[in-house]
Structure formats: structure tokens, C-alpha cells
Amino acid sequence: MQIRFVKTTLAIMAVCVPLATPPASDAGQRARGRARAAEQNLSPSRPSETNGRGRLGASRIYLDPASTNGYDSGYNRGLIDGRDGQRYDPVKHRDYRDAQRGYSTSYGSKDAYKTNFRSGFRQGYEDGYREGGRTR
């Protein structure tokens, strides 16, 4: 009776374990992709990103140009507003309202670009405003 139970359990495990784990080539590829994405997004690609603003350790990882452009613009505006003691208001800025800075037709729909730009702008503004408020 025990031998039959052990054989049945081993047969079930032999079928289920390969289904639960991805093939080795897929797992390795995914791990390399995550590491590459993190490396590309957190390494300074422009000298302006290393000027003491603390952005390299930020949790933002935007892969599309609209969010990146929006974040950069929002960060700069928020940093200035925070340093100057201005009220928190990302919507007052022309870049936010216009949301076309850096747009290229190769990026696709202008409406989608604007949506992503504004989302990135708000996040960047928040981060910059917080950082600017600390340096006053």
C-alpha cells in the first residue's frame, strides 16, 4: 500500500514540477532583461542626473519617452517651486498643461503621449518639490 502511494506521489510530482517552473532559458532571459532594464534606467545617462538631486536611487522606472520627459520637466519645476517656497501646484506650469515637450510623431498618438507626459510630470514634480523643500 505504501509503495503504491509513493509511486503515485512521485508520478504527480513529476508532472506538476515542470509546469510550475519555467524553462531554464526563459528564466535566465527574464532575469537578464530585468537587470538590463534596471541598469539602463538607474545609471546616469545625462550629466544633469547626477547633480546631487538624489534621483539615481528613485523608484521611478519609466521606459517610455513621454513619462521620462514629463518626469524630468516636472522634477525641475518642482525643485524650483520647493526651493522658492511656492505652493505645491504642478498644474500651474505650462509644460504640464501643454504636455507636448519632446513629442515626436514616431511616439504614436499625441493624446497618449500627453497622458503619459502628465503622469510623469506629476511624479517628477512631487519628487522635486520634496527635494527642494529640504534644501531651503
Using one digit for the tens of pLDDT, what is the confidence trace for 9-20?
666 666 655 544
* Residue at 49 is within a domain: no
Residue 48: inside a domain: no
Q: What is the pLDDT of residues 3-58, one digit of tens each?
A: 666 566 666 666 655 544 455 544 444 444 444 444 444 434 443 443 334 454 44
C-alpha cell, 65: 519617452
Q: Are residues 27 and 84 in the same domain?
A: no
Task: For cell 511616439, name the residue.
Answer: 107
Mean pLDDT over 123-132 rounds to 94
Distance CA 79, CA 121 (A): 12
Q: What angle do CA 97, 99, 100 make, to 5 degrees?
A: 135
Give a yes or no: residue 105 inside a domain: yes
**Tally of domains in the chain:** 2
Is residue 78 a part of any domain in this protein? yes
> Is residue 12 included in any domain, yes or no?
yes
| Under 8 Å between Cβ of 98 and 72 | no
Q: Which domain holds residue 97?
A: 56-136
76 and 127 assigned to the same domain: yes
d(CA 119, CA 103): 15
| pLDDT score, position 64 | 87
Q: In angstroms, rounded to a whole number, what is the distance separating the alpha carbons of residues 52 and 69? A: 19
Question: Are residues 32 and 66 both part of a single domain?
Answer: no
Quick one: which H or E segment has residue 41? Answer: helix 24-42
34 and 62 assigned to the same domain:
no
User: Which pLDDT does position 10 carry in this prediction?
Assistant: 63
Give the pLDDT confidence score for residue 52 in this predicted structure.
39
35 and 66 share one domain: no
CB 103 within 8 A of CB 95: no
Q: Is 61 in the same domain as 99?
A: yes
